[in-house]
């Protein structure tokens, strides 16, 4: 008997009754002018928040060599600082999901942005390694609501047929932040030093947090018309909006698809976090670049990554409009992107010039972020609406706990072998395993019926 249970909107065969997603109703009402304004406001604010978020994340990576020289830190210690952030970020994901389901993105992202920006500013005042670890932990806890809030906002305010492009824009904003970070942060360091750089971008984030709380409104607090509700709910896995009970939340950890997403997304984040943490240091260490040149070269691969995110949104929406089931379109993009990213990462060490290395890393980031955007998009099309924040935060929790090993392992390998070759090979292998997880473990949708 064929046990395969692909949830692609087609007939499902297997030992259990088939689970299919609701059909899209071609006669559903169009978007109202008010919904368009709400969507535009939400996406502009999310875009700015994501850019600031990744300016903050990139700051230590760009200042890596300067801080090491001034504070006398080793590569392993820098790796520990980077891992302290990602570990705190990952652990904070667990309470973040249930809180987001109950309090909504307005207060969660507003408060989170304020907290992470405050600790970012405090990074400019540290005088010891221990103090640096503590502010990095605070930064990670504050940033925890960012991605789950983005998923929740898009899920709340966009119809299932139109979520690919806004998800691509939201994810691309983070990589645009990574792309503009090296030259901007390098210039700031040259003008006001690394301490002034930390303080300045922290103050910018605090200002944006106040703007978000002032302008954004959660969907339950907006009185929607029947046509607006019909447009937003058409084709969704579930239209219930009540928050999950603790029993339902715990039940997610017994769900096979949830574990497939956790393991698979770990392959995405390990790759993304390795390049985020060590790309400037890799270019400086391998090709002996100065700070100014590093800032310019390090920006290019992240532009590739932003392009991958934008392309993914367009491609997935196109495939769905051509009749492909929403989940199938995401899984195809995830697997192909991850396999290709692993291939490019594996050959980075063969690059003999800076230009070739930048292009190969750029293609690895294009592919991994192309895949990663569909990973978040998979939540939109395969998870009941009331569960999206919790599923997104659990997925992020697992992936960042695993990705926390990337910076410190890479730093230790650099201190031990004085080369990044082994670290990049490990990264390629982890990416392949993540792709296999999406192909063979992620099967059924996560619905209200699955406790």
Tell me the per-residue pLDDT of 352-368, one tens digit each, with 9 for 90 and over: 899 999 999 999 999 99
Token pair belonging to 83: 């891992």
Phi–psi pair at 257, nearest 5 degrees: -60, -40
Mean pLDDT of 90-107: 84
Q: Which residues contact 350 (CB under 8 A, 6 or more apart)?
A: none
Rounded-to-integer distance, Cα 96 and Cα 75, Å:
31
Residue 276, in any domain of the structure: yes
Q: Is residue 451 part of a domain?
A: no
CA-to-CA distance for 299 and 187, rounded, in angstroms?
13
289: left (phi over 0), alpha (psi -120 to 50) or beta: beta
Q: How confident is the model at residue 241 (pLDDT cuts 50, 70, 90)?
A: low
CB atoms within 10 A of CB 107: 17
At residue 28, the pLDDT reads 59
More confident residue, 385 or 153: 153
| In the predicted structure, residue 91 carries a pLDDT above the cut 60 | yes
Residue 312 belongs to some domain of the structure? yes
The answer to whether 263 and 437 have CB atoms below 8 angstroms apart is yes
Torsion sign over Cα 158, 325, 342, 303:
negative
What are the backbone angles phi and psi of residue 21, rounded to the nearest 5°? -85, 150
Q: What is the pLDDT of residue 190?
A: 87
Q: Is the pLDDT of residue 23 over 80?
A: no
Please tell me the total count of domains within the chain. Answer: 1
Measured distance CA(435)–CA(367) in Å, rounded:
12
Distances (CA, A) of 2 to 5, 41, 349, 358, 391: 9, 47, 43, 45, 28
Q: Mean pLDDT over residues 71-93, rounded?
A: 83
Alpha carbons 62 and 295: distance in angstroms, whole number: 8
Distance CA 64, CA 58 (A): 10
**Would you say residue 168 has pLDDT above 50?**
yes
**Other C-beta atoms lying within 10 Å of the C-beta of residue 232:** 22
pLDDT at 120 over 90: yes
Range of the domain at 277: 33-215+242-440
Indicate the range of 2-6, 348-352, 363-367 predicted with least confidence: 2-6
Residues contacting residue 168 through CB under 8 Å, at least 6 positions apart: 309, 310, 311, 312, 313, 314, 316, 373
Supply the pLDDT for residue 361: 95
Residue 4 within a domain? no
CATH code where residue 291 lies: 1.20.1250.20
Indicate if the pLDDT at residue 147 is higher than 90: no
The predicted structure's pLDDT at residue 401: 83
Q: Looking at residues 248-269, what average pLDDT do you find?
A: 91
* Whether 143 contacts 32, CB under 8 Å: no
**First-residue to last-residue Cα distance in the chain:** 26
Interval 411-429: pLDDT, tens: 788 788 877 888 899 999 9
CA distances 366 to 278, 308, 313, 339, 373, Å, are: 17, 4, 13, 12, 11
Best CA proximity match to 105, nearest among 268, 217, 11: 217
The Cβ of residue 172 has, within 10 Å, a number of other Cβ atoms equal to: 26
Give percent above pLDDT 90 in the chain: 30
pLDDT recorded at residue 187: 87
Quote the CA–CA distance of 355 and 435 in Å, as a whole number.
28
What pLDDT shows up at residue 432? 96
State the Rg of the chain over Cα: 21
The token pair at 178 is: 């990574």
141 vs 112: CA distance, rounded Å? 8
Domain presence at residue 187 = yes
Of 237, 201, 239, 166, nearest to 379 (Cα)? 237
Please say if the pLDDT value at position 203 is more than 90.
Answer: yes
Is 136 within a domain?
A: yes
Does residue 285 register a pLDDT over 80? no
Give the Cα separation of 126 and 40 in Å (integer).
Answer: 39
- Residue 228 located in a structural domain: no
Q: Is residue 294 part of a domain?
A: yes
Whether 25 has a pLDDT exceeding 90, the answer reads: no
Taking 80 as the threshold, does the pLDDT of residue 196 lie above it?
A: yes
Stretch 215-227: mean pLDDT: 86
| pLDDT for 302 | 84
For residue 18, is pLDDT > 50?
no
- Written as one string, the DSSP assignment of 54-77 is HHHHHHHHHTHHHHHHHHT--HHH
Q: Residue 142 in contact with residue 117, Cβ under 8 Å?
A: yes
Answer for the pair 441, 256: CB distance below 8 angstroms, yes or no: yes
Q: What does the alpha-carbon distance between residue 337 and residue 307 come to, in Å, rounded to a whole number?
A: 13
What pLDDT sits at residue 21?
45
Confidence at 341, pLDDT banded by 50, 70, 90? very high
**Least confident residue range of 36-45, 80-89, 283-292, 305-314:** 283-292
């Amino acid at each position: 008997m064929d046990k395969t249970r692909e949830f692609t909107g087609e007939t499902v065969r297997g030992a259990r009754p088939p689970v299919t997603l609701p059909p899209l109703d071609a006669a559903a009402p169009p978007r109202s002018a008010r919904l368009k304004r709400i969507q535009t406001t939400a996406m502009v604010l999310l875009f700015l928040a994501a850019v600031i978020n990744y300016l903050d994340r990139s700051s230590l990576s760009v200042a890596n060599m300067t801080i090491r020289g001034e504070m006398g830190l080793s590569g392993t210690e820098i790796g520990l600082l980077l891992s302290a952030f990602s570990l705190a970020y990952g652990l904070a994901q667990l309470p973040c999901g249930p809180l987001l389901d109950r309090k909504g993105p307005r207060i969660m992202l507003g408060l989170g942005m304020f907290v992470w920006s405050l600790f970012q500013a405090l990074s400019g005042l540290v005088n010891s390694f221990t103090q640096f670890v503590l502010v990095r932990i605070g930064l990670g806890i504050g940033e925890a609501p960012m991605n789950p809030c983005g998923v929740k906002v898009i899920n709340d305010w966009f119809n299932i047929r139109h979520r690919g492009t806004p998800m691509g824009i939201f994810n691309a904003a983070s990589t645009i932040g990574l792309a503009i970070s090296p030259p901007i942060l390098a210039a700031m360091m040259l003008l006001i030093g690394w301490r002034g750089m930390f303080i300045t971008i922290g103050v910018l984030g605090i200002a944006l947090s106040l703007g978000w709380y002032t302008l954004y409104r959660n969907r339950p607090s907006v009185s929607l018309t029947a046509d607006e509700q019909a447009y937003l709910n058409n084709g969704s896995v579930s239209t219930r909006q009540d928050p999950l009970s603790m029993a339902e939340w715990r039940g997610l950890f017994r769900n096979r698809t949830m574990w497939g997403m956790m393991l698979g997304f770990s392959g995405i984040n390990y790759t993304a976090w390795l390049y985020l943490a060590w790309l400037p240091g890799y270019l400086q260490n391998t090709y002996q670049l100065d700070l100014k040149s590093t800032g310019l070269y390090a920006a290019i691969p992240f532009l590739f990554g932003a392009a991958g995110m934008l392309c993914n949104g367009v491609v997935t929406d196109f495939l769905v409009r051509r009749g492909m089931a929403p989940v199938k379109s995401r899984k195809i993009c995830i697997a192909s992107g991850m396999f290709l990213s692993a291939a490019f990462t594996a050959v980075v060490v063969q690059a003999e010039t800076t230009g070739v290395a930048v292009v190969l890393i750029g293609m690895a980031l294009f592919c991994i972020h192309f895949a990663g955007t569909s990973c978040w998009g998979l939540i939109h099309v395969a998870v009941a609406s009331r569960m999206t924040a919790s599923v997104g935060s659990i997925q992020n929790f697992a992936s960042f706990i695993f990705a926390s090993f990337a910076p410190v392992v890479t730093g230790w390998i650099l201190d031990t072998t004085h080369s990044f070759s082994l670290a990049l090979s490990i990264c390629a292998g982890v990416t392949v395993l993540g792709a296999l997880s999406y192909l063979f473990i992620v099967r059924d949708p996560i619905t209200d019926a699955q406790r």
